[in-house]
């Protein structure tokens, strides 16, 4: 049956890997009505309960509760540790059933907004040169249950302290659209009106540019999409995306805007000429552009662009008719900021060949890893 994720006890199923139709079918296969499945669904995700054990299944039919208790594994992951950055950002380390560790970030923002950044893979296969997670290589995909459980655990752990989570971004470890089946299912549970109840506009899936999967996501999901676009003349900083593929797809979606994410790298992609080329690349695509400060990490070849240059770059994009925002670091003193998640092993994925224009920029001033960055958790 679809949605039954592997758990440590093979005789039990992990129901957090099911969307509601799967859960309804599963309940009916055990002789119970769909109304009981809906009550269970609400206990798992709604009413600020987020049930994680049979003891929390208040109000269920006695026989149904007994069947669930005997057949269901409620957890696909367990809490390992929480780190708190100076700005209030929390980095949560979760241990999976196979012993792998993933990282999830909760970011308190202004105006009562709290953003949850979830991981979709253990490691990542994309090998983007500015991302620490990419140094790990890909270990495996996360199941839908393991993705959803990050949201459930974060709500249970931190909502009383930080308030309800209002936004979810698939911007943690991994390339979400490389794991497109499980990401689409997990996102559908998050936006279900009887589930975790997030607005589809406030659940954003980020991709480095996997075109077939991107087309599928835009056609099957109601959630938002963010596309990394970090070079205007060369595809060697990260895997390339042809922006024109979005122009065609977005004609089918009403009032839908793509968020382009552009990591600012000193001397690499932050010139006014880059800004002019970026304006042309996105022309005709309903979008916003998010300029992101690069967050250094051990082994990094790059430096962050100075704030003054980021502002000049933003102004040049705005003058070209773009809607543009600046995003500065949160959680970087605990390696919880964008591009800093994960812990590469001793044998890391090799760096790609660095184009000459990038080598020249890096040779001007080599990056020295900060002694304040924690490397051993």
Residues with catalytic roles: 103, 338
Q: How far apart are CA 95 and CA 98, in angstroms?
A: 8
SS3 180: helix
Tell the burial category of 211 from Cβ atoms under 10 Å away from its Cβ (0-12, 13-18, 19+). Answer: middle
71 CB contacts (<8 Å, ≥6 apart)?
11, 12, 13, 30
- Report yes or no: 75 and 149 within 8 Å, Cβ to Cβ: yes
Q: Output the six-digit token pair for 213.
A: 């999967």
| DSSP state string for 197-242 | ---GGGEEEEES--HHHHHHHHHH--SEEEEE---SS-SSSS----
Q: How far apart are CA 182 and CA 367, in angstroms?
A: 37
Question: C-alpha distances in angstroms, 350 versus 33, 207, 210, 332?
Answer: 54, 21, 21, 24
Q: How far apart are CA 309 and CA 320, in angstroms?
A: 17
- Report yes or no: 31 and 22 within 8 Å, Cβ to Cβ: no
Half-sphere exposure of 88 (CA within 13 A, CB side): 11
In the beta sheet, which residues pair with residue 204? Answer: 169, 224
Q: How far apart are CA 179 and CA 141, in angstroms?
A: 6
Q: How far apart are CA 352 and CA 74, in angstroms?
A: 41
Q: How many Cβ atoms are within 10 Å of 17's Cβ, its own excluded?
A: 26
Q: Which H/E stretch holds residue 126?
A: none
DSSP 78: E
Tell the burial category of 219 from Cβ atoms under 10 Å away from its Cβ (0-12, 13-18, 19+). Answer: exposed
């Amino acid at each position: 049956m679809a949605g039954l994720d592997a758990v440590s006890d093979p005789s039990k199923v992990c129901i957090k890997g099911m969307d509601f139709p799967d859960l309804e079918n599963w309940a009916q296969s055990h002789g119970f009505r769909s109304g009981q499945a809906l009550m269970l669904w609400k206990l798992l995700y709604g009413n600020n309960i987020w049930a994680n054990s049979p003891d929390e299944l208040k109000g269920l039919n006695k026989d149904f509760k007994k069947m669930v208790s005997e057949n269901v594994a409620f957890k696909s992951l367990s809490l390992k540790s929480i780190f708190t950055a100076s700005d209030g950002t929390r980095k949560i380390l979760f241990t999976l059933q196979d012993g792998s560790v993933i990282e999830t970030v909760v970011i308190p923002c202004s105006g009562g907004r709290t953003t949850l950044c979830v991981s979709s893979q253990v490691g990542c296969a994309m090998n983007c040169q500015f991302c620490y997670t990419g140094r790990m290589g890909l270990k495996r995909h996360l199941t839908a249950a393991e993705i959803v459980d990050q949201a459930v655990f974060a709500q249970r752990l931190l909502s009383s302290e930080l308030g309800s989570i209002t936004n979810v971004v698939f911007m943690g470890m991994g390339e979400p659209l490389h794991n497109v089946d499980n990401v689409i299912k997990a996102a559908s549970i998050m936006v279900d009106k009887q589930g975790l109840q997030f607005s589809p506009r406030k659940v954003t899936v980020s991709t480095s540019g996997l075109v077939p999967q991107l087309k599928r996501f835009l056609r099957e999901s109601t959630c938002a999409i963010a596309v990394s676009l970090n070079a205007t003349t060369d595809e060697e900083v990260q895997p390339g995306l042809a922006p024109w593929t979005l122009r065609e797809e977005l004609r089918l979606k009403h009032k839908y805007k793509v968020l382009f994410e552009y990591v600012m790298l000193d001397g690499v992609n932050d010139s006014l000429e880059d800004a002019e080329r970026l304006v042309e690349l996105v022309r005709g695509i309903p979008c916003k552009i998010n300029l992101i400060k690069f967050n250094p990490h051990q082994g990094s070849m790059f430096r962050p662009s100075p704030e003054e240059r980021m502002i000049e770059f933003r102004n040049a994009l705005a003058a070209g008719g773009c809607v543009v925002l600046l995003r500065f670091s949160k959680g970087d003193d605990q390696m919880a900021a964008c591009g800093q998640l994960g812990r590469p092993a001793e044998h890391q994925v090799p760096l790609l060949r660095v184009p000459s224009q990038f080598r020249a920029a890096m040779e001007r001033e080599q990056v020295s890893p900060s002694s304040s960055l924690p490397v051993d958790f």
